[in-house]
Structures are given as structure tokens and as C-alpha cells.
Amino acid sequence: MAVWLLWPAAPREPVRVVAAAGVPAVAAETSAVAAGHGPPAPSAAVTASAATPKEPVAVASSDDLADHVPPGQTPSMKQVIEGLHARGIRTGLGAFNPPGTRPPLIGLAVPEDFALPPGYVRHHQATDDGQRIEAILMFAPDFRLFDAQGREIPLPADRVVPPELAPPGLPLRRITLPPPRQGE
């Protein structure tokens, strides 16, 4: 402590320490010290009552979802994401497409122990509510398929393997989507 009082003060910008509502001023001062702004001067003591704002502060642009949803409303995730997109927000939750805009692909189920020949891949997916879906069989992005005469066979645009082009030995069974979770 005596070393700090005798240590020459380095010039620095003043740090304004403000505690958020419900956060003691001591915690705000501690975070200022942790941020590398040095120990607060003895005269810079802040009390919680002086630092707590009396009125809510309007935020022009915030990453807090609560600032974008009116109080008392509980919008669906689709409504939240569409609202963020309407405001031009494309980060955080706004980086995602709304649920249901890209439905899962339906195709042939691929058992995990089935050895895939070259040109075929397992495609893993999840539902909008986070449930894993059984892997489906797809063509690899750079794969080209040829018939016995050497003519190229056109592949489906979505690259999902139809039953007639499945590799030999694969059980031909289409996946089924799990039902939505309750309460969602």
C-alpha cells in the first residue's frame, strides 16, 4: 500500500466508474482496475446510490434482445429473428435465418456402420428445435456419376441420393423427422 502511494502517477485518461442497477459500486471499481485503468484514486470513491441511474437510459443500438422486444410480449424465435432483420441487424441471433426457412432434407437413412463408397457422404442435420436427425445419403460436391457406356448421369440439384442411385448393400429406408418438442 505504501508503495502505491509513493509510486509516481503515470498520466492517464480519467476513468468514469458507473455501477449498473443492482451492481455495487465496488464491483464497478474492481472491473475498472481489472481493465487496466489502475487503482482508483482515494478521492474517486463512488457510492452505489450515486452511480445507479434514476431513469432508464435509452440505447440507440444494443445487442441486448430485451431492447428489441416490447415489454410483456413473448414473440416466437421466428418473429424475433425477422424483427432483427427488419432493423438491419445481422449479428448475434440476426445472423441466423428464421426457423422453418430451410426445412431439413429428406433422404435415405445411412447407418453409421455402413462403409460409404467414394462419391457418397453422410449429411447430418438438426430440427429447428435442436433435435438431431438421422444422417441421410448425399453425393459429394465434386462427384460425377457415369453409366456403363461412360455417359454422365445428371445428379439431383440438392445432391440427395435417390433410391435408384444408392450404393449396393445400403438398406433403402427414408428418414422420418422427429415431432416438435412440447412447449416450442
Instruction: Clarify whether residues 90 and 132 are in a common domain.
Output: no
**Residue 24 located in a structural domain:** yes
Q: What gap in Å lies between CA 102 and CA 125, rounded to an integer?
A: 11
Instruction: Clarify whether residues 163 and 135 are in a common domain.
Output: yes
Q: How many domains in the chain? A: 3
Helix (H, G, I), strand (E, B) or coil at 132: strand
Asked whether residue 105 carries a pLDDT value surpassing 90, the answer given is yes
**Residue 184 located in a structural domain:** no
pLDDT in tens, 55-76: 554 444 566 777 767 788 888 8
The domain in which residue 28 lies consists of: 12-56
Instruction: Clarify whether residues 152 and 165 are in a common domain.
Output: yes
Instruction: Clarify whether residues 21 and 69 are in a common domain.
Output: no
**Residue 146 located in a structural domain:** yes
**Residue 153 located in a structural domain:** yes
Instruction: Clarify whether residues 24 and 50 are in a common domain.
Output: yes
Asked whether residue 6 carries a pLDDT value surpassing 90, the answer given is no
Instruction: Clarify whether residues 111 and 165 are in a common domain.
Output: yes
**Residue 147 located in a structural domain:** yes
Q: Which grid coordinates are listed for 56?
A: 432508464
The partner residues of 33 in beta bridges, in order of sequence, read: none
Instruction: Clarify whether residues 25 and 81 are in a common domain.
Output: no
Residues in the chain, overall count? 184
Instruction: Clarify whether residues 110 and 148 are in a common domain.
Output: yes
Asked whether residue 150 carries a pLDDT value surpassing 90, the answer given is yes
Q: Is 15 exposed, middle or buried (0-12, 13-18, 19+ CB in 10 A)?
A: middle
pLDDT in tens, 9-25: 555 454 444 444 444 44
Q: What percent of the chain is helix, strand and coil (3-state, nearest 5)?
A: 25, 10, 65
Instruction: Clarify whether residues 151 and 107 are in a common domain.
Output: yes
Q: H helices of 114-171, where? A: none
Q: Please report the pLDDT score of residue 92 as a whole number.
A: 85
Q: What gap in Å lies between CA 65 and CA 81, rounded to an integer?
A: 10
Whether residue 110 contacts residue 133, with contact meaning beta carbons closer than 8 Å, is answered with no
**Residue 80 located in a structural domain:** yes
The partner residues of 137 in beta bridges, in order of sequence, read: 122
